[in-house]
Amino acid sequence: MTKMNSASPYPAIIDADETVRKPFKSPLLRQHMPGLDILRGVAILSVILYHGLYQSSLLSPPSHTIWARLSSLFVFGWLGVFLFFVLSGFLITGILLDSKWERFYWRSFYIKRALRILPAFFVVIFLIKVFEHASWPYVALCTFYLANLAGMLHIGGFQYGVLWSLAVEEQFYLGWPSVVKLGSRRSLVLIALAILVFSPVLRLISFSNVVPFGDIHMTWLISDNLIAGASLAILLRSPQASERLVKRLAWILLCAGVAILATGIPFGILHREKAIGATFQTVPFEFIFSSMLLFSLFLESTSRLTRLARPLMFFGYISYGLYLYHELVFFTFAAILGKMGLLNHWSPAVFLLGFFVEAAIAVMIAYLSKRYFEDYFLGLKSKLLSSLC
């Protein structure tokens, strides 16, 4: 059935399972949710520590065994990217659901998305072309958010690792807004469940070379990580999502994730060389990260924990730029040290000092970019939307 909105000539479609024009929103969904900023901070620091300490120690091994063991503690820092996926799925799906009945739904979404991600993204594309001499075919792929397909297309030369995850996200968001717009809540739940179930199945098929879909952890085969967050956004717009139920679900997800991880470790779930790892490596962390997200919604801006976590909130604020720029800073330092003949002569103190200097410079660049460059474009949203819509 349809219902006419007096403020618009366009009818609002109301499905059998949706009795109000705009979806219910849990009181946990506030204008500012500091817990999400904290999780962004955790995610970006995990990635920085992984690239700056663990990966760097592989490229130029420290001469001291103790430091080598210490750097190995950050081997799972790459999971910060998958925490970003869960957060992104939650936030973007929430935006789509909340604007589902708006007249300029698609135009508004993509304008906001472009203003958020494109300015800093194109700066990075320019930098890797000019200073890292990336090939034009690779630059073209990156420009159209296809960087994750460079290996499948056998494009050689310099490749900037962090761009693969942005490519996965933007490929996902080409189709997901249409699914949210056209689907009822019930159909969205069913689609989300299907993606959560079939993504690991498709990873197994690809790993087994039955049908090679490409890199199983750098393509749309990891969409279940984004859908995990999207599912929470759908849940929290259901009238049944009481705070008690949300907290109970958070504990269930945490326990399930830990149980799956503990059960899978003896069978190789942490290593992609085996089928179980290639298929299910990120699954327990989807549960754990989803649990962390739900728990974070209970944090108030004035709580003691939130005040103590303000440094993490700062890193969350600059997380996008820091993710984009940090490896360029690391590459530059490595090139300078290589020319000086110091790259393979680390002591633990020098190794750690070098990391903190690199990280501090990356943080400074990311902050300046966010404050004086990215935020300028974000400030254009209202003007552009009013002129184009």
Average pLDDT over residues 86-92: 96
Q: Which of 44-58, 80-94, 127-141, 235-249 has the lowest mean pLDDT?
A: 44-58
- Residue bearing tokens 């679900």: 249
Q: What is the mean pLDDT of the chain?
A: 86
State yes or no: pLDDT of 149 exceeds 70. Answer: yes
Banded model confidence at residue 340, pLDDT cuts 50, 70, 90: confident
Residue 84 region by backbone torsions, left for phi larger than 0, else alpha for psi between -120 and 50, else beta: alpha
Percent of the chain with pLDDT over 70: 86
Cα–Cα nearest to 7, from 25, 17, 21, 18 = 21
Crossing angle for the helix pair 223-235 and 79-98, nearest 10 degrees? 40
Q: What pLDDT is stored for residue 386 in this prediction?
A: 74
State yes or no: pLDDT of 281 exceeds 60. Answer: yes
Q: What pLDDT is stored for residue 67 in this prediction?
A: 62
- Cα distance between residue 223 and residue 114, in whole Å: 21
- Read off the amino acid at residue 56: S
3-state helix, strand, coil in the chain (%, to 5): 70, 0, 30
Per-residue model confidence as pLDDT tens digits over 255-275: 999 999 999 999 999 988 889
- Cα distance between residue 372 and residue 364, in whole Å: 12
H/E segment holding residue 12: strand 11-13
- How many CB atoms are closer than 10 A to CB 103? 13
Dihedral (CA of 292, 298, 300, 303) sign: negative
The more confident residue out of 70 and 201 is 201
- Cα distance between residue 296 and residue 28, in whole Å: 10
State yes or no: pLDDT of 280 exceeds 90. Answer: yes
- Residue bearing tokens 């056998």: 154
Banded model confidence at residue 103, pLDDT cuts 50, 70, 90: confident
Taking the chain, what is the end-to-end CA distance rounded to the nearest angstrom?
Answer: 27
H/E segment holding residue 59: helix 56-59
Q: Which residues contact 252 (CB under 8 A, 6 or more apart)?
A: none
- Cα distance between residue 61 and residue 67, in whole Å: 9
Average pLDDT over residues 357-377: 95
- Cα distance between residue 176 and residue 96, in whole Å: 9
Banded model confidence at residue 346, pLDDT cuts 50, 70, 90: low
Q: What pLDDT is stored for residue 152 in this prediction?
A: 84
Cα–Cα nearest to 80, from 274, 323, 257, 252 = 323
- Cα distance between residue 366 and residue 354, in whole Å: 18
Q: Which pairs count as long-range contacts for 157-166, CB under 8 Å and 24+ apart, including other chains?
A: 157/133, 158/128, 158/132, 158/133, 158/134, 159/134, 160/124, 160/128, 160/132, 160/134, 160/327, 160/328, 161/327, 162/323, 162/324, 162/326, 162/327, 163/124, 164/218, 165/81, 165/84, 165/85, 166/117, 166/121
Q: What pLDDT is stored for residue 177 in this prediction?
A: 95
Burial 156-169 (b: 16+ CB within 10 A, else e): eeebbebbbbbbbb
Q: What pLDDT is stored for residue 62 in this prediction?
A: 52
- Tokens coding 15: 């499905």
Per-residue model confidence as pLDDT tens digits over 238-254: 988 899 999 999 999 99
Residue 154 sits at the vertex; the CA angle it makes with 343 and 200, to the nearest 5 degrees, is: 95
| Domain layout of the chain by residue ranges | 31-388
State yes or no: pLDDT of 13 exceeds 60. Answer: no
Residues 8, 49 contacting (CB under 8 angstroms): no
Q: What pLDDT is stored for residue 352 in this prediction?
A: 78
Q: What pLDDT is stored for residue 21 in this prediction?
A: 54
Residues 300, 320 contacting (CB under 8 angstroms): no
Q: Which of 3-12, 68-77, 83-92, 292-301 has the lowest mean pLDDT?
A: 3-12
In a 13 Å sphere around the CA of 208, the CA atoms on its Cβ side amount to: 10
Q: What pLDDT is stored for residue 89 in this prediction?
A: 96
Per-residue model confidence as pLDDT tens digits over 188-227: 999 999 999 999 999 999 888 877 776 777 778 899 999 9
Dihedral (CA of 95, 100, 105, 110) sign: positive
- Cα distance between residue 297 and residue 241, in whole Å: 13
